[in-house]
């Protein structure tokens, strides 16, 4: 019904459909599936205007229009009224309304309806709400609808079902292929059906969103932001889209029936706490699942990070992420049964792993001399209270695959002690390295041919735990083919340089003297070794040197560049390069990175280019 305010608006504004941005949701489903009933609920909760094509046609008959008799006969026969009539009625109703959100119920009923609406109004529906209901249930409902409708008799009902199967279902299939269909299991009680409907209409921001991490880590926060742009949810290519996800690309996937029979995917189950809800078909909980490409093996001994499901809660101003560990695999049959699940959209977005988080976690509680003393006595209680992380804790907390985590741990020189991954305190490492070097002099060991058992034995007798002694060899040396270890000149020299610079900025000449004094006699240090570790600065005629290690910088490019430009507003390429060469952003070359985050200037054509903040 047009309200007084509606008419006033129309008069004042003369709004035409093309001038206002209109949101349309098509509500489709067989006759008696409950479209009208649920539309009334949606109107109340979500502020849409309900336009029932059938009601508009019946009103047209009542109004005594010239088409009245034709429409009446068609309805009596369960046939579809010509598109031009229906589209005109719908168009007029939308124009006459001051609302801009419409539920169009019972239309388009065939391909011709759909094409005519699209070409006349230029409107593409936001999505299609599809009520799926068995025919017997629809028939039962129609025959007891009791609204005095001429077409709710068994003969016309059968004809309507036939028309629905032949003409209307293809329209639904058309929208399924476009990823626009949100299917509702409509044979349940009205209230339950509405619960499912509600989750579809609830604005994304208020919803808990569940993202799948397929093949590669997924940037959840960016993904969530992207999801807020509704248009981007519309492109959907089903399971193919997941399987073909290219690095650095993003794709929206609506979960729909095209997924179901896909042979390459299996469904994985997740947190046990959620299982009862899912199994009992509580539609509210249906967002929880994970797709796993079948060709990827799943090892249950290691949590399968590659295929984890993330739960995202978007509050007013912050985005919180929880990863839910999967605990069980659910059989494939379950997947097939899942066709009744309602539709959820995801956005996948590939990014580099979050290794910074690993550094942060392990730095909370580095392994120190005290730990070595108390390791034996540390009971479980204490271990739980101190921040220690096992492999599975890290897999759970760091957004990276198992391989990426492994190389991240290696880059941090982390070591597994008593089942927990630890970074060893620098002073402690300094102590053990010095002890090794001291023993090499005492025992006349060559730093190019260290016997593992002998070194570890001696270090143990000096009070270092066996794991730490092995770790020392690993961090500062490499194992040779003959099983002996050789200390790596560069790594040892860098270690001592870092130790000196921990005290702060120092004059270059003093630094060099002290550095040479510290390094073992057999080794040769050169300042080039410290690329990416130190920066120099001219103060008057003196050159000073200070620690600025690439390993202490964040791995996210934006943060990395901001830190670099905070350190120095201008960088020459030779200085900058060591600090960015490890950055990797899927889909972005190093040139691309520079373009994105720096401004390049070249005072004269043959001068070195200089990079500053964008
Ligand atoms: N979920 C439901 N369970 C039982 N009866 C229902 C349900 N939804 C609707 N009905 C009843 O079924 C009949 C058909 O519903 P209606 O909303 O008019 O369907 P449609 O608009 O799809 O033709 C109505 O009498 C309605 O009260
Ligand atoms: O776009 C439409 C919508 C309805 N109808 C006619 O109106 C009847 C009743 O449709 P309605 O959607 O009101 O009833 P339902 O199918 O939901 O029971 C249909 O059988 C058709 O004959 C039509 O021709 N075009």
Per residue in 129-151, pLDDT (tens digit) is 999 999 999 999 999 998 999 99
- How is residue 348 written in tokens? 């996948």
The reply, when asked if residue 34 is annotated as ligand binding, is yes
pLDDT of residue 240: 41
Buried b (16+ CB within 10 A) or exposed e, 363-376: eebbbeeebbeeee
pLDDT of residue 509: 96
- Which residue lies with its CA nearest to atom 3 of ligand 1? 189
The reply, when asked if residue 527 is annotated as ligand binding, is no
The reply, when asked if residue 328 is annotated as ligand binding, is no
In this prediction, residues 60-82 reach a mean pLDDT of: 96
Q: From the alpha carbon of 145, which atom of ligand 2 is closest?
A: 18
Q: Classify residue 593 as exposed, middle or buried by CB count within 10 Å of its CB (0-12, 13-18, 19+).
A: middle
| 224 against 67, higher pLDDT | 67
| Beta strand pairing call for 610-613 and 570-572 | antiparallel
Sign of CA dihedral 384, 388, 394, 398: positive
Cβ(39)–Cβ(103) under 8 Å? yes
Q: How far is the CA of 106 from the centre of ligand 2 (A)?
A: 6
In this prediction, residues 207-228 reach a mean pLDDT of: 32
pLDDT of residue 556: 79
User: Which residues make Cβ contacts (< 8 Å) with residue 169, sequence separation at least 6?
Assistant: none
Q: What is the pLDDT of residues 264-285, one digit of tens each?
A: 333 333 334 444 443 443 322 2
pLDDT-derived band of residue 591, with 50, 70 and 90 as boundaries?
A: confident
| 561 against 394, higher pLDDT | 561
User: Which residue from 267, 272, 220, 262 is spatially nearest to 241, judged by alpha carbons?
Assistant: 262
pLDDT of residue 354: 66
User: Which residue from 542, 480, 459 is spatially nearest to 506, judged by alpha carbons?
Assistant: 542
Cβ(614)–Cβ(562) under 8 Å? no
pLDDT at 350 over 80: no
Q: Is the CB of 518 under 6 A from ligand 2?
A: no
Q: How far is the CA of 127 from the centre of ligand 1 (A)?
A: 21
Could you please report the per-residue DSSP string of 480-527?
A: -TTS-EEE-HHHHHHHHHHHHHTT--EEHHHHHHHHHHHS-TT----G
pLDDT at 291 over 90: no
Alpha-carbon gap, residue 566 to 450, rounded angstroms: 44
Q: From the alpha carbon of 147, which atom of ligand 1 is closest?
A: 25
Collapse the DSSP code of 420 into the 3-class scheme (helix H, G, I; strand E, B; otherwise coil) and give the result: strand
Alpha-carbon gap, residue 546 to 608, rounded angstroms: 24
Say how far residue 584 (Cα) sits from the centre of its chain: 18
Question: What is the CA angle 514-515-519, rounded to 5?
Answer: 120
pLDDT at 524 over 90: yes
Q: How far is the CA of 109 from the centre of ligand 2 (A)?
A: 8
Alpha-carbon gap, residue 325 to 376, rounded angstroms: 31
Distances in Å between the Cα of 421 and the Cα atoms of 128, 217, 235, 429 are: 50, 22, 43, 16
pLDDT of residue 92: 95
Cβ(432)–Cβ(464) under 8 Å? yes
pLDDT-derived band of residue 205, with 50, 70 and 90 as boundaries?
A: very low
User: Which residues make Cβ contacts (< 8 Å) with residue 13, sequence separation at least 6?
Assistant: none
The reply, when asked if residue 431 is annotated as ligand binding, is no
pLDDT of residue 203: 57
Q: Is the peptide bond before 108 cis (omega within 30 degrees of 0)?
A: yes
User: What Rg do the C-alpha atoms of the chain give, in angstroms?
Assistant: 34
Q: What percent of the chain has pLDDT over 70?
A: 68
pLDDT of residue 376: 53
User: Which residue from 209, 194, 191 is spatially nearest to 129, judged by alpha carbons?
Assistant: 194
Question: Which range is least confidently modeled, 33-42, 310-319, 403-412?
Answer: 310-319
In this prediction, residues 447-465 reach a mean pLDDT of: 95
Q: How far is the CA of 187 from the centre of ligand 1 (A)?
A: 10
Q: From the alpha carbon of 187, which atom of ligand 1 is closest?
A: 1
In this prediction, residues 486-495 reach a mean pLDDT of: 96
pLDDT of residue 384: 54
Place of tokens 């098509």: 26
Distances in Å between the Cα of 485 and the Cα atoms of 136, 339, 451, 565 are: 79, 60, 6, 41
Which helix (DSSP H) or strand (DSSP E) does residue 42 occupy? helix 35-46
HSE-CB at 409 with a 13 A cutoff on CA atoms is: 21
DSSP conformational letter for 203: -
**Probe target for ligand 1 pocket from 26, 32, 157, 184, with the most ligand atoms within 8 Å of CB:** 32
The reply, when asked if residue 375 is annotated as ligand binding, is no
- How is residue 501 written in tokens? 């610079």
The reply, when asked if residue 106 is annotated as ligand binding, is yes
- How is residue 127 written in tokens? 């999505």
Q: Which of 208-212, 347-351, 537-541 has the highest mean pLDDT?
A: 537-541
Alpha-carbon gap, residue 27 to 54, rounded angstroms: 12
**Probe target for ligand 1 pocket from 55, 56, 141, with the most ligand atoms within 8 Å of CB:** 141
Which ligand ends up closest to the CA of 137? Answer: 1
Place of tokens 């060893």: 424
For the chain, give me the number of helices (H) and strands (E)?
27, 22
Q: What is the pLDDT of residues 79-131, one digit of tens each?
A: 999 999 999 999 999 999 988 899 999 999 999 999 999 999 999 998 999 99
Enumerate domains of the chain plus CATH numbers: 4-199 (3.40.50.300), 203-351 (no CATH), 356-490 (no CATH), 553-614 (3.90.1150.220)
Collapse the DSSP code of 456 into the 3-class scheme (helix H, G, I; strand E, B; otherwise coil) and give the result: helix
């Amino acid at each position: 019904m047009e309200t007084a305010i509606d008419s006033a608006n129309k008069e004042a504004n003369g709004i035409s459909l093309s001038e206002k941005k209109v949101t349309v949701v098509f509500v489709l489903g067989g006759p008696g599936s409950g479209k009208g009933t649920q539309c009334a609920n949606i109107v109340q909760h979500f502020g849409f205007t309900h336009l029932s094509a059938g009601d508009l046609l019946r009103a047209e008959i009542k109004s005594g229009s010239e088409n009245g008799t034709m429409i009446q006969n068609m309805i009596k026969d369960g046939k579809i009224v010509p598109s031009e009539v229906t589209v005109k009625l719908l168009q007029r109703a939308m124009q006459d309304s001051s609302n801009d959100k419409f539920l169009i119920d019972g239309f388009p009923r065939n391909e011709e309806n759909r094409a005519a609406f699209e070409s006349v109004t230029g409107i593409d529906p936001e999505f299609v709400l599809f009520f799926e209901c068995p025919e017997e249930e629809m028939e039962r409902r129609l025959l007891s609808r009791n609204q005095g409708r001429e077409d709710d008799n068994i003969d016309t009902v059968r004809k309507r079902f036939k028309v629905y199967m032949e003409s209307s279902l293809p329209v639904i299939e058309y929208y399924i292929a476009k990823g626009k269909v949100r299917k509702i299991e409509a044979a349940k009680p009205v209230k339950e059906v509405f619960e499912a409907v509600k989750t579809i209409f609830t604005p994304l921001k208020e919803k808990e969103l569940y993202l799948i991490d397929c093949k590669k880590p997924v940037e959840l926060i960016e993904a969530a932001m992207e999801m807020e742009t509704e248009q981007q949810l519309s492109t959907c290519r089903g399971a193919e889209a997941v399987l073909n996800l290219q690095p650095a690309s993003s794709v929206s996937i609506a979960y729909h029936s095209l997924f179901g029979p896909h042979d390459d995917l299996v469904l994985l189950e997740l947190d046990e706490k959620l299982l009862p809800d899912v199994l009992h078909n509580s539609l509210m909980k249906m967002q929880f699942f994970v797709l796993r490409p079948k060709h990827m093996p799943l090892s249950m001994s290691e949590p399968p990070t590659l295929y984890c499901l993330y739960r995202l809660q978007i509050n007013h101003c912050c985005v919180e992420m929880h990863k839910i560990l999967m605990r069980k695999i659910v059989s494939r049959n379950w997947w097939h049964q899942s066709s009744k699940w309602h539709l959820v959209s995801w956005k996948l977005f590939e990014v580099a792993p979050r290794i910074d988080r690993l550094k942060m976690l392990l730095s909370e509680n580095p392994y120190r001399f005290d730990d070595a003393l108390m390791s034996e006595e540390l009971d479980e209680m204490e271990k739980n209270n101190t921040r220690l992380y096992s492999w599975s804790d890290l897999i759970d907390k760091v957004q990276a695959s198992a391989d990426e985590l492994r190389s991240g741990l290696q880059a941090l020189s982390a070591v597994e002690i008593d089942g927990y991954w630890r970074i060893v305190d620098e002073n402690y490492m300094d102590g053990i390295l010095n002890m090794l070097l001291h023993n090499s002099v005492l025992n006349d060991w060559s730093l190019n041919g260290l016997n593992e058992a002998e070194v570890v034995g001696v270090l143990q007798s000096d009070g270092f735990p066996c794991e730490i002694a092995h770790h020392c060899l690993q961090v500062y040396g490499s194992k040779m083919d003959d099983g002996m270890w050789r200390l790596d000149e560069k790594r040892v020299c860098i270690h001592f340089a870092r130790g000196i610079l921990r005290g702060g900025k120092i004059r270059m000449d003093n630094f060099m003297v002290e550095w040479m004094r510290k390094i073992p006699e057999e080794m040769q240090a050169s300042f080039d070794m410290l690329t990416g570790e130190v920066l120099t600065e001219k103060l008057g005629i003196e050159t000073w040197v200070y620690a600025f290690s690439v390993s202490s910088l964040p791995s996210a490019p934006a943060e990395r560049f901001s830190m670099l430009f905070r350190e120095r507003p201008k960088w020459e390429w030779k200085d900058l390069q060591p600090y960015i060469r490890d950055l990797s952003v899927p889909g972005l070359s190093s040139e691309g990175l520079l373009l994105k985050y720096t401004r390049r200037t070249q005072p004269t054509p043959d001068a070195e280019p200089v990079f500053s903040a964008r």
